[in-house]
Amino acid sequence: MSTKKTVAHAMWQMLHDAGVRRAYGIPGDAMNGILVALRDFPDIEFIHVRNEEAGVFAANAEAFITGRPAAVCGTSGPGATHLVNGLYDALHERVPVFAIAGDSPPQYVGSGMVEEVDVSTAYADCTLFRGRVELAEQAPSVLRGALNTMINRMGPVLVAMSSEVGLSEWP
């Protein structure tokens, strides 16, 4: 593992410690900085899927069958919104799915750029917890809140984060 601990490294470590052994998704600009850190966790297999919707349904099935949490990654904008149908399913089945949505770079949040999605409204009905990490300093509380909710309430959660934040130093 590299010497600099990033937000993404800390997140993958937390997910590993929670029992995640597979992450489904598609690499993309908003996810690349987050997925680079996954290389340091050989116990978590990344499974490239055709689209994010297939990934979230695969994560649901794994969590349902094994009882262990699974992760799914959706890049920003339309990629992340493709997670919605599967997150509704995960909520209905009450399975532990940790969704990571790529986000707009922090300096563009609120600018109306085409790939920006407001996680608090877009995922309100299909997750038990939604968090957006715009600054590295927010990551510990958002990630802990998401993981605690996923495990204790047995259901899907979503954290939105940009590559830039994922590559930031862990506070």
Q: Whole-model pTM?
A: 0.93
Note whether 6 and 170 are within 8 A (CB). Answer: yes
What does the pLDDT look like over 64-122, one tens digit per residue? 999 999 999 998 877 888 999 999 999 999 999 999 998 877 777 677 766 677 777 88
- C-alpha span between 30 and 76 (Å, rounded): 6
What does the pLDDT look like over 130-151, one tens digit per residue? 999 999 999 999 999 999 999 9
Report percent pLDDT > 90 for the chain: 74
Note whether 27 and 39 are within 8 A (CB). Answer: no
118 three-state secondary structure: coil
Q: Which two tokens stand for residue 87?
A: 């997150």
Note whether 132 and 120 are within 8 A (CB). Answer: yes
- C-alpha span between 121 and 123 (Å, rounded): 6
